[in-house]
Structure 1
Amino acid sequence: MSQEIGVAKRYARALFELAEERKTVSETEQQLKDVATVVSDNEKLYILLTSPNVVLADKIGVLDIALKDQVSDIVYNTLQLLIERGRISILHEVVNSYIRIAGEAIGLLDAYVTTAYPLNDAEKQAVAAEFGHKLGKTIRIHNVVDASIIGGMLVRIGDRLYDGSLSGKLDRMNKTLKSQAR
């Protein structure tokens, strides 16, 4: 695990604990997502917030103008702390870590399902039900389309990867045949 990911997890954990105390876990998650989108979509803002040549007071001034009344004080204070410590570049990892921590706390896991074509709602529900039953959790599906898997699906839930793709099966078959030919 890189150092930045570990730092992001600590920020996310602290923010989650504050949000949980205030019973604003989902609102905080949405605000974090929105802020991360704004920062990543606005290249000039990102450069301003990450540039070592811009004075800290100016960065905080921009943060005040842009977000002070738009987000909760705990989200604002977290952003301010990231800027003060020169870590605003890890904002997306903080958001991802927060989402994982919040999901785990309520028994919700995110599944990244890669398929050769987009899944419809019924297929998403079927995958969520199958993996939810296996893992004893509620599963939220994020569909990623990648035609290179040919067929079937890859399902990533946390650190686990379930490979039911046709390309994965062909690769395993190829390795088996090569090892037996020797």
Structure 2
Amino acid sequence: MSSRAAIRYAKAVLDQANDAQLGNVVFGDMKSVAATIENSKELRTVLSSPVIKGEDKKQALHKIFEGNSDVTKGLIDILTNNNRINLLAGVAQSYVTLYNEAQGVKVAEVTTAVPISSELETKVLAKVKEMTGSDSVTLNNIIDEAIIGGFILRVGDLQYNASIANQLDSIKREFTKSL
């Protein structure tokens, strides 16, 4: 979950990108930034370290994301100058969410015990369409072995739980009621 400050920065970047007609380019940048930070423990440590100077963080980020747009590089500069560079991942995630909302794209989070198959993906997309009425959907697959099997689908504040763990819990509740 992103902080309110990260959301405010993301809104400002979205406005700036839309004004420059670079919304889609910056969307790609932000997905890349979010994924890079999420997948690199070392980078997260550097960004949150009070020992490393802001200027050093800025230079490192400019090297890492040198192929990105000027809007993205400007965001890195502003966050560094305001001593808020630790918000970069949250800003990137918030931007992706805001951009998807503006484009009418629904983001569905699918939790499965194993990586999602193409057959299950088709079923999930059909369920999302039924739940939301939207044809434009992006799926994020989260692996959680605790659900045993099936899937849990979340779209915004809607949830559909078709997991084996949920069904077992239901059976357990029925048994305890009848005792």
Same fold (TM over 0.5): yes
- 2:67: which partner in 1? 70
Distance in structure 1 (CA, Å) of the matches to 2:37 and 2:113: 31
Q: CA deviation at 1:28?
A: 0.7
1:114 aligns with 2:115: no
Aligned residues: 178
The question of whether the paired residues in 1 share the 8 Å contact of 2:54 and 2:83 is answered with no
Report Cα offsets for 1:90-123 as digits up to 9, x if no partner: 3222222111111111111111212233332243
- 1:160: which partner in 2? 158
Equivalent runs, 1:17-166 vs 2, <5 Å: 17-39=15-37, 45-67=43-65, 69-137=66-134, 138-166=136-164
Distance in structure 2 (CA, Å) of the matches to 1:45 and 1:169: 40
Deviates more, 1:151-160 or 1:96-105: 151-160
Structure 1 residues 173, 29: closer, same or farther in 2, change over 3 A?
same
C-alpha RMSD over aligned residues? 2.6
Distance in structure 2 (CA, Å) of the matches to 1:154 and 1:42: 27
Q: Secondary structure at the match of 2:137?
A: strand
Q: CA deviation at 1:170?
A: 1.6
Structure 1 residues 29, 51: closer, same or farther in 2, change over 3 A?
same
Q: CA deviation at 1:154?
A: 0.5
Q: CA deviation at 1:84?
A: 2.4
Q: Secondary structure at the match of 1:7?
A: helix
The question of whether the paired residues in 2 share the 8 Å contact of 1:50 and 1:89 is answered with yes
Distance in structure 2 (CA, Å) of the matches to 1:134 and 1:5: 28
Report Cα offsets for 1:138-157 as digits up to 9, x if no partner: 22122233333222210122
The question of whether the paired residues in 1 share the 8 Å contact of 2:109 and 2:153 is answered with yes
Q: Secondary structure at the match of 2:32?
A: helix
Q: Secondary structure at the match of 1:54?
A: coil
Deviates more, 1:113-122 or 1:35-44: 35-44
Gaps of at least 5 residues in structure 2 are: none
Q: CA deviation at 1:8?
A: 1.3
1:175 aligns with 2:177: no
Structure 1 residues 6, 166: closer, same or farther in 2, change over 3 A?
same
Distance in structure 2 (CA, Å) of the matches to 1:70 and 1:37: 15
Gaps of at least 5 residues in structure 1 are: none
Distance in structure 2 (CA, Å) of the matches to 1:59 and 1:114: 34
The question of whether the paired residues in 1 share the 8 Å contact of 2:30 and 2:96 is answered with no
Q: CA deviation at 1:167?
A: 0.8
